[in-house]
Each structure stands twice: as structure tokens, then as C-alpha cells.
Chain A
């Protein structure tokens, strides 16, 4: 079964509104989670690293004021797309790894955002 879960899986919103996407680790604690973005028929691009109890680390070119990340607990990270614009429409995927040194990373189911 899934070890990393995202919600919602699909969301449609109007331009100018904000949308929150949740990423949960289901059976382990994750001090670090990662947020990726994927455009249609394209690869995944790392947006930011979510750190429990501290500020997220954003990749170059990612607007931190637009994509707010909060890692309030060891099992939950949230990505809020603020003042959404049609160009923000994309597939957003989070990932986390168990603290077991296997190196395996687990991805959430993904959240498809459509901004009208």
C-alpha cells in the first residue's frame, strides 16, 4: 500500500485563489519531504525541500512567495499555491524516504492542479 499520500488528487480553481496540497507520510516520520512539479509529457523538476520545523529550501527559479511550503509535523508537509494563475496548472508530486538507509524514495499519488 501507499506509504506517502497526497490530497487532493485533483483540484480546479479560479485565477487569483489559493490552493493547498497536503503530503503525508503514512507509516513513518519524515523530517524531510520534497516537492516536484511535472508538466504534461515532461519530466519532474524539484521545486523545494520541505524541512520539519524550519524553512523550506527552494530550488533556483522557484518563487517562494508563490509556492508556500509548511512542514508542521513529522508526517505532514503542505504546498500552497498562492494567487494561482493558469501557468501554475501542473501535476505536483511529493516524495519522502523512510529513515532505514535503503535509499528508497516514495512518491505520493500526485495532485493535478488546473487553474481556470
Chain B
């Protein structure tokens, strides 16, 4: 059974700081997703990582994928309050049937 684990599950940080969220998964997959969810809302797609070594950046967020280590990271640079949300990684082992991590609840304090 595929397991997807995120670390940390809760993160409180100050504006301007950098931090990384980690996503480990237990079986082979070449496709990994990162999503953002605001309270009471659905998922917003952030990144789709399709191959080993893939790195994508959008604004203050950068995601990478190491399929050999079964690890993806979501790096936040110079955090701002607007980035406060819950972030999920998800792995796609069976044709778009995603298995999600537990989510990382990120709070950025002014």
C-alpha cells in the first residue's frame, strides 16, 4: 500500500524566512503533485512534477522531485502572510488516482 508522508504537519514561521516542506512516498511513482488549500476551499494546483530531477518555481515557491529517493520538497523563500494555507503533496501511482499526504498547515506570522 502506497504511503505518502509529509513533514512537518504544522509549521509556524515568520515573514521573510525560508523553509522546506518534505514529502516522502513509499513506492515508485514518476508523477507528484503539490496543492494548496485555503480554509473551506478546494485544492489549487501548484506544481506537477513529472520526472526525476524536475524542479519548478512559481514566485516564492519551488518544488523538486527525486524519484530515486522517493522525495519531493516544497521550498518557501522569504515567506509572506498570503502563503498561509495547507499544502498537500499527492502521488499518482494508478492513472490519476491520487494518494495524498497528510497536509502541512503553514501559518506565516507578520
Name the interface residues of B8-35: CB closer than 8 Å to any CB of A: 31, 33, 35
Let me know if A43 and B45 touch, CB within 8 A: no
* Residue count of chain B within 8 Å CB distance of chain A: 21
Partner of A34 from the list B40, B41, B48, B96 (CB cut-off 8 Å) is B96
Which residue from chain A places its CB closest to the CB of B45 in the assembled complex? A104
| A93 to B102 alpha-carbon distance, docked (Å) | 16
The answer, yes or no, to whether B99 is at the interface (CB within 8 Å) is yes
| Chain A contacts for B31, CB-based, 8 A | 103
Name the interface residues of A17-67: CB closer than 8 Å to any CB of B: 32, 34, 42-46, 49
Let me know if B98 and A46 touch, CB within 8 A: yes
Let me know if A49 and B42 touch, CB within 8 A: no
* Interface of B: prevailing SS: loop
Total CB contacts across the A-B interface at under 8 A: 50
| Chain A contacts for B43, CB-based, 8 A | 44, 93, 107
Let me know if A110 and B42 touch, CB within 8 A: yes
Do A43 and B42 form a contact, CB below 8 Å, given A97-B96, A102-B48, A103-B31?
Answer: no
Let me know if B42 and A107 touch, CB within 8 A: yes
The answer, yes or no, to whether A88 is at the interface (CB within 8 Å) is no
| A34 to B100 alpha-carbon distance, docked (Å) | 14
B residues whose Cβ falls under 8 Å from a Cβ of A? 31, 33, 35, 40-43, 45, 48, 50, 88, 90, 92, 96-103
For the complex of A and B, the 8 pairs showing the least CB-CB separation, nearest first, are A110-B42, A107-B43, A43-B100, A44-B100, A103-B48, A109-B42, A107-B42, A104-B48
